[in-house]
């Protein structure tokens, strides 16, 4: 077992024997090794109250995660928020997202990483105005909100340093016109309940690479995720509905199917 596998097994052992929650222990039955434990899915998160999925008692933010099939709470400690890889270091970042919970969380990521973020409000006109006033040099956004920032970009005389577009799917053609507005555009795969787990520089056919804290597997055509850190609500063998195609390179790169 190499170091990475050993670290994941340590996580499984800690969660399995935790006094804080029996959520995963009950799901895993007698399975003890990472390779033997069954996958967990969103349905189990929806069916289990947060208080029974909480493995750490730390200060942080709680958010509502809503899907067509149900709703549940997700909790992120300030410490874990700080360690996520939501964006790049910048002097004057802006967070402009259509989901209010994600907007506040990513803004706190900025603050936890010693940046003062501008948070974009729902009204696009106000967000464009404030972005200009604050002279933003980096943007964390989603596809829908990025479009609303077009007036800011067309009025700017220089590209900003980075745009990070977060989501679980991307329309690469739709993003193409924005490539000239930033020196780097990064696509970041996320789910609200898992945090960020893979990224790719923007291109018309991006290959995503798992982030350092994420173990990405592909089972039956979909992505199964393990975050290597013990989160407040840990992500271990979490089966997503994100269809993927591994490219077979040593870094574990993959493409999204039909996205």
Partner 1 sequence: MIDRDGFAALAEQTLEHFFLTPPADTEQYGIGVTSGTSRSKVLVAMREYPVAQGIFSSGPGRMLSTRGSLSTALNNAVFTKFRSRHFNARILTLDRADYAADIMPLLSDFAPDGITGYPHIMSQLADYMDAGTRDGVRSAEYVGEGLTASLNENLRRSFPRAKVSMAYMASEIGGIGRSCEFLPENQYHPLSGVTVEVLEPDDTGEGEVLVSKTIAFGIMVRQYRLADIGRIKPGTCRCGKPVTFEIVGRLGRDYVRLAGATFRRDLFDRIATANAELFEDYRIEAFLENDRGISRGKLIMKVYKKGGVGDASIRKINERFLTGLYVTPTQTLGTLVKKGLFSPLEIVVVEQPFPDETKEAKIVQRI
By the criterion CB under 8 A, which residues form the site for partner 1?
49-51, 57-64, 66, 70-73, 75, 78, 91, 100-101, 103-104, 107-108, 111, 114-123, 126, 129-130, 133-135
Strand partners, 3: none
Residue 203 C-beta: closest distance to partner 1, Å: 31
Residue 152 C-beta: closest distance to partner 1, Å: 14
Question: For residues 27 and 104, which CB has a smaller minimum distance to partner 1 in the complex?
Answer: 104
Residue 190 C-beta: closest distance to partner 1, Å: 18
Question: For residues 4 and 43, which CB has a smaller minimum distance to partner 1 in the complex?
Answer: 43
Residue 133 C-beta: closest distance to partner 1, Å: 4
Question: For residues 31 and 61, which CB has a smaller minimum distance to partner 1 in the complex?
Answer: 61
Question: For residues 151 and 246, which CB has a smaller minimum distance to partner 1 in the complex?
Answer: 151
Question: For residues 53 and 228, which CB has a smaller minimum distance to partner 1 in the complex?
Answer: 53
Residue 67 C-beta: closest distance to partner 1, Å: 12
And the tokens for 197? 């787990």
């Amino acid at each position: 077992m190499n170091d990475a596998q050993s670290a994941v097994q340590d996580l499984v052992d800690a969660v399995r024997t935790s006094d804080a929650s029996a959520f995963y222990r009950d799901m895993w039955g007698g399975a003890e090794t990472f390779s033997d434990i069954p996958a967990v899915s969103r349905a189990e998160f929806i069916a289990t109250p947060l208080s029974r999925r909480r493995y750490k008692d730390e200060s942080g933010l709680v958010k509502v995660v809503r899907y067509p099939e149900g709703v549940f709470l997700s909790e992120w400690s300030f410490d874990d928020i700080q360690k996520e890889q939501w964006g790049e270091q910048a002097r004057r970042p802006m967070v402009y997202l259509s989901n209010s919970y994600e907007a506040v969380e990513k803004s706190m990521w900025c603050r936890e990483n010693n940046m003062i973020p501008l948070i974009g409000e729902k009204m696009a006109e106000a967000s464009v105005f404030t972005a200009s006033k604050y002279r933003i040099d980096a943007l964390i956004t989603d596809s829908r909100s990025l479009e609303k920032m077009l007036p800011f970009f067309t009025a700017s005389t220089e590209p900003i340093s980075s745009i990070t577009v977060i989501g679980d799917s991307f329309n690469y053609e739709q993003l193409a016109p924005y490539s000239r507005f930033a020196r780097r555009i990064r696509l970041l795969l996320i789910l609200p309940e898992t945090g960020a787990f893979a990224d790719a520089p923007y291109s018309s056919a991006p290959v995503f690479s798992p982030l350092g804290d994420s173990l990405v597997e592909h089972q039956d055509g979909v992505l199964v995720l393990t975050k290597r850190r013990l989160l407040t609500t840990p992500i271990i063998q979490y089966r997503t509905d994100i269809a993927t195609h591994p490219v077979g390179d040593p870094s574990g790169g993959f493409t999204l199917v039909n996205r």
